[in-house]
Structure 1
Amino acid sequence: MSRWEPNARGRLVEAALTLYSERGFEQTTAADIARQAGLTERTYFRHFKDKREVLFWGAAQLEELFVTAVTGAPDSATPIEAIAVGLDAAAHLFEDRREASRQRQAVIVANAELRERELIKLANLAAAVAGALRDRGVPDTAASLAAEIAIAVFKIGFERWLDDHRQREFRFFTRESLAQLKTVTAGK
């Protein structure tokens, strides 16, 4: 194998999803993933610290994109409007990734350890969004509530997007969920 491999990270993610789907998470090793990707185990560990991280490596990018969008929302935006901007920005990450997202979600749902890791990722995202809202001058309690709402809307939108056979954009589902939340809180 050559010293430099193009798109090694992407190949490792694809190989992991394939193997986790075929064999299961527990029965797959990092060496198996590397071999499936045509890379060495050493290359695997240059990109990921363990076999779970291949499923969660995009969390930092998602958090950065979401927080940057919330922070950059117009000064006049309410906390809900600011998280709507963040949700729209986050939706871009999922364009053209529906099938891989479905595979990833199926692997996570099938394993308690991975479900726990997913919850940790979402809790970290909520904390980061709450921090961005506080930086915008939103009081602590309101910032925390809005951030938790953002995560709930994100999760529900994501689940509906995965199940959608009409191929609508992820953003459609987050916007629809946010609109329904507004209706619920208005008492209608």
Structure 2
Amino acid sequence: MKNVCVYCGSSPGRQPTYADAANSLGRLLAEREIGLIYGGARVGIMGMVADAVLAHGGRAVGVIPESLMQKELAHQGLAELHVTTSMHERKMMMADLSDGFIAMPGGVGTLEEIFEAWTWAQLGFHRKPCGLLNVAGYYDHLSVFLDHTVTEQFVRERHRGQLMVETDPATLLDRFIGYKPTAMPKWIDRDQT
């Protein structure tokens, strides 16, 4: 695994444990020589992950739309900073540069990004691992809801299993490295599975 995309908030959140997790994940990526692909900001959890990667000798690559350069305060100390013309171009570039996708705590944008990456996996557009880093129980209620979608037969169990949930960044990265995609794309007819 060469690069991991990390989706996360442009704010620090309420609890100091979010910053601790960002620092831990950033250090771990650098130690394992896995590059960070992220939204390119120097603020919030986003900036903390990038700063931790850089502080430990790792490589951080940002991708930010031109319209957010000032609002999200683009990080100037990165190995590369790609400026895109739109959010769609940003997400596609981040996906193309990455071998896996992690969502740390964040807001609507973070949720939208990880759900899109997961949807692409479900549809067979890529075979890369997707996961939630469940810091301080941040994704507990979402995980319960996603299990409910399986119970209600809107999401298949094999597709639900494509979105890993872990509380420890090392465990999540270990699962990413050992990831073997087995789920068939959603478009396969039910009678064929």
TM-score (structure 1 length as normaliser): 0.33
Which of the pair has more CA radius of gyration? 1
TM-score (structure 2 length as normaliser): 0.32
Structure that is richer in helix per residue: 1
Structure that is richer in strand per residue: 2
